[in-house]
Structure 1
Amino acid sequence: MPETTIDEVMAELAALEDPKMREANEKRGDDHGVNLSKLRAVAKRLKTQQELALELWATNDTAARLLALLVCRPKAFAREQLDTMLRQARAPKVHDWLVNYVVKKSPHAEELRVAWKADADPVVASAGWALTSERIAKSPEGLELAGLLDTIEAEMKDAPERLQWGMNQALATIGIEHAEHRARALEIGERLEVLKDYPTPPNCTSPFAPIWINEIVRRKEE
């Protein structure tokens, strides 16, 4: 069976473009109009194709980049490639999928976590915090949780939006996963009031850390 060409895939993505979907996505900073369920269906059909993924990424098209992240081979990327890709990924959904679907599966994840968390670019730093939340939950050995809480307490309130979200997730994860730090995590969240008034749809948990922590802990204890 012949490999699908980049031109064929780009034509298919163009055919899936929905102006109303684009309008809704652009309000969140994502400049594409492709339904993500349909995008995943395309990826499922294409299966893993690393070379195609690299071509899709190089188009600089948001829908194509999202598809690239679904058909790539995460462990095939060099550390420098992933660092470059993160700095190119300005659309929030591309940034999110790159971190969650690719970098977390990479052998370079821990090295990148440390480098990105200290980066001067707040969008890059937010990826470092997302990877830190993953470690807080799954492999906290070697992390200084009290020190992370110190940083969050000092910096989260005035951090740019994306970085603030990353720190807030880490705060909530510490409170949820580590009972010995829960009281302090709750206290920091209550005092800083970050995302306290965030509009939350029915049946969804608020991102306000004290509500988030208490709700997930309650579910775990049921």
Structure 2
Amino acid sequence: MKLSPKAKQIFNTIDKETTKLGDLRTIAKTIKKDHDLALQLWSTGHFMARQLAILILDNKQLDQNVINKLDTDIQNHNPEEQIHLMDWLIANQLTKSKQLITLIESWEHSPSTLQRRVFWYYQARLRWMGNTKHSNTEYLLKAIEKNLMSEQPEVQWAMNYTAGQIGKWEEKYRDRCIAIGESTGLYKDDIVPKNCTPSYLPEFIAIEVAKLKK
């Protein structure tokens, strides 16, 4: 896609090594919403330009076909950048629209690994602040117990994290969530950086519950 003079000017100010996320948000605030400009910046394939593009997309113009195209493009990035771009898309666009949330909720069995990860990560996000009023918790746990170990690593992490949030906030499911970690051994042997919470469910839940009791 040919860049307009405005898109070229913005693109030339973005440097992968020195531009920070805060800088992108500052730029986005001055642009506000500009879907055409976003698509031009996206077409560059540049990681930082694509993050800026996500901030200024018009979510009213996002549908499954457009998201599939973004998803395909994201897969050309390295694994770390893939996760960052998709999480950035969740936080800044996909959860800002009831229509797009409906799409997220349909992605549990999507052929796209990234979209399946979004489904599970969204379920975890719903529970971050202790909201336990969800009718699908039992269903989610059954799906995790059945499918966790057969999923791709990116999706496994989000499924595991959802179980962690359920176990943290809902005492009646806590032992069951701990048992998932014990039976799978997932992340048990991971080396965790100092001051970071391990992903191994028995440890994650114990640490997070202890925080709640303080």
Normalized against structure 2, the TM-score is what?
0.81
Alpha-carbon deviations, 1:17-58, whole Å to 9, x = none?
33xxxxxxxxxxxxxx74434434433454444432232223
SS in 1 for 2:181: helix
Counterparts in 2 of 1:72-87, with a 5 A limit? 72-74=57-59, 77-87=62-72
- Where does residue 100 of structure 1 map in the other structure? 91
Q: Distance in 2 between matches of 1:6 and 1:125?
A: 32
SS in 2 for 1:108: helix
Q: Distance in 1 between matches of 2:106 and 2:173?
A: 25
Q: Distance in 1 between matches of 2:168 and 2:5?
A: 45
**1:107 Cα shift?**
1.6
Q: Distance in 2 between matches of 1:199 and 1:180?
A: 30
**1:219 Cα shift?**
1.2
| 2:132 and 2:169 in contact (8 A); partners too | no
**1:141 Cα shift?**
2.8
Among 31, 39, 42, the residue aligned to 2:27:
42
- Where does residue 55 of structure 2 map in the other structure? 70
Q: Distance in 2 between matches of 1:177 and 1:87?
A: 35
Structure 1 residues 120 and 99, CA gap change in structure 2 (3 angstroms):
same
- Where does residue 21 of structure 1 map in the other structure? none
Q: Greater shift after overlay, 108-117 or 90-99?
A: 108-117
SS in 1 for 2:180: helix
Among 145, 169, 185, the residue aligned to 1:153:
145
Give the alignment's Cα RMSD to 1 decimal.
2.5
Letter of the structure 2 residue corresponding to residue 134 of structure 1: R
**1:180 Cα shift?**
1.1
Letter of the structure 1 residue corresponding to residue 117 of structure 2: S
| Residue segments in structure 1 that go unaligned for 5+ positions in a row | 19-32
| 1:123 and 1:163 in contact (8 A); partners too | yes
Q: Distance in 1 between matches of 2:38 and 2:124?
A: 27
Query: Percent sequence identity over matched residues?
Result: 25
Letter of the structure 2 residue corresponding to residue 142 of structure 1: S
Q: Distance in 2 between matches of 1:87 and 1:213?
A: 35
| Runs of 4+ with >6 A deviation | none
| 1:208 correspondence with 2:194 | no
| 2:132 and 2:170 in contact (8 A); partners too | no
| 1:79 and 1:108 in contact (8 A); partners too | no
Among 163, 170, 173, the residue aligned to 1:178:
170
Alpha-carbon deviations, 1:125-175, whole Å to 9, x = none?
1111112223345474331x2221122122212321111111111111111
| Residue segments in structure 2 that go unaligned for 5+ positions in a row | 76-81
Letter of the structure 2 residue corresponding to residue 8 of structure 1: Q
